[in-house]
């Protein structure tokens, strides 16, 4: 059993999750403070990949990153980099697909934050940076943690957009999802089912871990609130 699809899926999911963790939190924090009209428009745009079929997302990415498109052609001619049909091409697909999950959960967490805590912290001279990392983030960590784990699990099982922009090449671009599909097409149901079980096992462990972390987090008070306010 070739383990390359497992390794490739894990690194793609990890890299894309790290990217959307920081980008998603930043965007969610900014939009949570935006005026209602602007927030509504941007929210629709940023959430669109969540409701679009993954194949449509993949098609749109090909229209932007393909070797005959402006961005793809520029990277190819300038750096000799082909942005499609490589293992890391799948990172573009998974990042776009999972971004709405992180964005919406983080935005919901920030909107539920008790703003009087921030005002109280400002009144005693604490900086906005300190307030964000030591008070706001600990307060919102359960929602952010849930968004991060759900995003990772979604990235691990992404197929539609990944198959279009990265394709399937054994030992080069194969992921668990694309491997399952190819094995099914070749009537290798036994090996396909093994990969299905691998994916389910990883997802189960990830979700079980976040449930345990959330229970522990619920028993602790945010560090920035202890004795400082």
| Cβ-contact 109, 150 below 8 angstroms | no
Q: Per residue of the chain (229 residues), what is the pLDDT tens digit?
A: 789 999 999 999 999 999 999 999 999 988 888 888 888 899 899 999 989 999 999 999 999 999 989 899 999 999 888 899 999 999 999 999 999 999 999 988 888 888 888 888 888 888 888 888 888 888 888 888 888 888 998 999 899 999 999 999 999 999 999 999 999 999 999 999 999 999 889 888 888 877 776 666 555 544 444 444 4
Task: Give the number of other Cβ atoms within 10 Å of residue 2's Cβ.
Answer: 11
* pLDDT at residue 210, rounded to an integer: 72
* pLDDT at residue 227, rounded to an integer: 43
Distances (CA, A) of 70 to 46, 58, 75, 227: 23, 17, 9, 56
* pLDDT at residue 217, rounded to an integer: 56
Pairwise CA distance, residues 118 & 131, whole Å:
6
* pLDDT at residue 35, rounded to an integer: 85
Task: Give the number of other Cβ atoms within 10 Å of residue 146's Cβ.
Answer: 21
* pLDDT at residue 218, rounded to an integer: 58
Q: Report the candidate in 211, 178, 226, 202 with the shortest Cα–Cα distance to residue 5.
A: 178
């Amino acid at each position: 059993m070739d383990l390359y699809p497992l390794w490739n899926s894990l690194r793609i999911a990890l890299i894309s999750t790290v990217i959307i963790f920081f980008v998603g939190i930043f965007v969610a924090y900014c939009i949570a403070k935006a005026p209602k009209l602007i927030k509504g428009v941007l929210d629709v745009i940023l959430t669109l990949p969540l409701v679009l079929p993954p194949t449509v997302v993949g098609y749109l990415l090909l229209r932007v990153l393909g070797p005959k498109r402006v961005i793809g052609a520029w990277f190819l001619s300038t750096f000799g980099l082909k942005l499609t049909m490589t293992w890391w091409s799948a990172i573009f697909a998974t990042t776009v697909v999972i971004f709405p999950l992180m964005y919406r959960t983080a935005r919901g967490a920030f909107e539920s934050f008790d703003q009087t805590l921030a005002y109280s912290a400002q009144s005693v001279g604490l900086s906005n940076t300190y307030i964000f990392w030591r008070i706001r983030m600990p307060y919102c960590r359960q929602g952010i943690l849930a968004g991060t784990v759900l995003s990772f699990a979604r990235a691990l099982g992404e197929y539609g957009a990944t198959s279009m922009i990265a394709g399937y090449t054994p030992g080069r671009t194969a992921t668990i999802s694309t491997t399952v599909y190819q094995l099914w097409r070749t009537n290798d149901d036994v090996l396909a089912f093994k990969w299905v079980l691998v994916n389910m096992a990883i997802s189960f462990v990830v979700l079980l871990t976040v449930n345990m972390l959330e229970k522990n987090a619920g028993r602790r008070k945010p560090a920035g609130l202890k004795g400082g306010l």
